[in-house]
Amino acid sequence: MAKVPDDVFFATIPQLNARLKAREFSAEDLARAFSERLQTLAPRYNALALSLHQEAIRAARDVDKDLKRERYRGPLQGIPYGVKDLLAFAGQPTTWGAAPYAAQVFDYNAAVIDRFAGIGAILAGKLSMVELAGGGGYRYPSASFTGPGLNPWDRTRWSGGSSSGSAAAVAAGLLPFAIGSETSGSIVTPASYCGVTALRPTYGLVSRYGAMALSWTLDKLGPFARTAEDCGLILQAMAGKDSRDPGSAGKSFYYTPQYARPLKDLKAGYSPADFDGVQETARPAFAAALDALRQLGLQLVETRLPDFPYGAVLSTILNGEMGAIFEPLIAAGKVDELADKPQIAGLKASLDLSAKDYLKAMRIRRLIQDEISKLFTSVDILVAPGRANIATKIDQRVDVQPPGMPPPPKDPGMRAIIPMGNLAGLPALALPCGFAENMPVALQLVGVPFSENQLLAVGREFQAKTDWHTRRPPGA
């Protein structure tokens, strides 16, 4: 067995793929190295829900047989990865991060797991999450079957919800990439807090078959990785039509950033109020990030979102769909086994939402989608902070304004970009862009539906000019 050097733990997917093809080490060597690192270090961050060490080794041996015969299946062949524990893996527990489902086992795989298996990617573990992906609303990071997600940059701070384990595992170099989910912020937030690159795809581009449903019309699956290029390669493997998912867009995705429009031809909408409203210690990092985008040729144009109650509309839709999904849990009284009391109350209250209110929210959503389409006739992408603050402390409430934040500016700018983007089903790319108080901060780029290649092209150019995505947490 060849020794796997430590530098692989923060290598990109193309780098790992090239080293596997060059026989510097075998897929089994790589799987053992990452799997053992995951088992050893993930408990530091409460990031691991289930190790799949033996399964990973068996899969890696099959990959080595293919590599020996030069049967190449793509850049993810032989690359270990992890999934948020809301994705079914046949014969193994899928807890959804919640005590009532601790013994839940499915006899089939989620669609994305089968897609990755088909090209030889190696599933090494299932990763921790906020219980039920945060359904019902929660007050503290401890709202999880596996405990609060701890940030690799500072374990007194949160790794973000609800894809806490996915972001932490990639940030700490425990896995080259991981899959998370977003209903309203659960990819962008942990990526921003942990300093990793992540992609929320267009609604319907990736099948959710075999994934826990929180909101049928809002849920999306997406990757956490080292770079924008990695995210593009992963999305190419994940995307595609699936009749088992009623929300499937019936589209595939091919990573072709070389055909994207040059950055100098792009107009990027942004709001100065958003960047004035970030945590004071983070302002220099965001200012430098905007300057880097300008130097790349991107035309920054002052923009604000149309005036809608984005948060209220999203919450109404989410509560209506969540109540229907988790009605059996609530009716059986097992909802009381959850860790967070406000979340229990929120789930119970969801059953009281009227059909009238749900339908009104869906009608407003249609208006929002129409107005956002008009907005994109004057700009090509939107640029905003991933989060306005650095990762919060573990003992701080997550449902209130973090300490040290300035009062919200009078100009709303694009502060509602996360609920807006999810209501409209838009793709978003989270890019590390600096540090404040030794903690990462990030930009988010948002585009029109199915514009992932354009976002990834901007991300790739930004990461060629900056090195924030290459920084490693202390001790990692």
Active site residues: 84, 162, 186
Strand stretches in 98-191, DSSP E: 122-127, 150-151, 154-158, 177-182
Task: Please enumerate in sequence order all residues whose Cβ is within 8 A of that of 354, keeping only pairs 6 or more positions apart, or say none.
Answer: none
For strand 267-270 and strand 299-302, is the pairing parallel, antiparallel, or unpaired? Answer: parallel
CA distances from 276 to 190, 238, 367, 413 (A): 22, 37, 29, 10
Question: Using an 8 Å Cβ cutoff, are 237 and 75 in contact?
Answer: no
Both structure tokens of 346? 């929120």
Query: What number of other Cβ atoms are within 10 A of residue 403's Cβ?
Result: 10
Question: Using an 8 Å Cβ cutoff, are 146 and 97 in contact?
Answer: yes
Query: Taking Cα atoms as reference points, which of 235, 192, 169 lies closest to residue 418?
Result: 192
Q: Which residue has the tokens 């092209």?
A: 457
- Angle between helices 27-41 and 53-68 in degrees, nearest 10: 160
**DSSP code per residue over 444-460:** EEE-STT-HHHHHHHHH
Q: Which residue has the tokens 């806490």?
A: 164
CA distances from 403 to 279, 418, 454 (A): 9, 21, 36
Both structure tokens of 63? 């990959």
Q: Which residue has the tokens 């009078």?
A: 410
